[in-house]
Amino acid sequence: MGRFTASRAPRAWPLAVGACLSALYLGVTLAAGRLEDGSWGEGIFGVILGLFISSIPARHFLDLLIYWRVEGTRFRSRGALSWWVAANAAVLVAGWLVIVVGTTRFTAAGR
């Protein structure tokens, strides 16, 4: 149980990396052309990337649900915890959007 100590602050850089990756993928994909002109490779890459991006906040939410007493003490105030949950939710939604766009490109390539 040494990993879940109250003195260790949560790290925000994995969330920032996930948000940047999703913005980059969505920007490049949507700027490159219509969604109907997708290819199998772009779709598969988008789905895998979206799953990876979504796994980061999903892990944080599971840690918060399972170890809520320990995880709750890592934050100085309720406001900080609220911002942390909101940031995780935003990255989770961004990962979901990457999955949706990748799936759309994947299924459109089969036509």
A 10 A CB-CB count for 71 gives 18
Q: Is the pLDDT of residue 100 over 60?
A: yes
Q: Give the pLDDT mean for 76-104.
A: 88
Q: Is the pLDDT of residue 77 over 90?
A: no
> Band of the pLDDT at 63, cuts 50, 70, 90?
confident
The more confidently predicted of residues 42 and 58 is: 58
Sequence-distant (≥ 6) Cβ neighbours of residue 52 within 8 angstroms: 18, 21, 95
Domain boundaries defined on the chain: 36-109
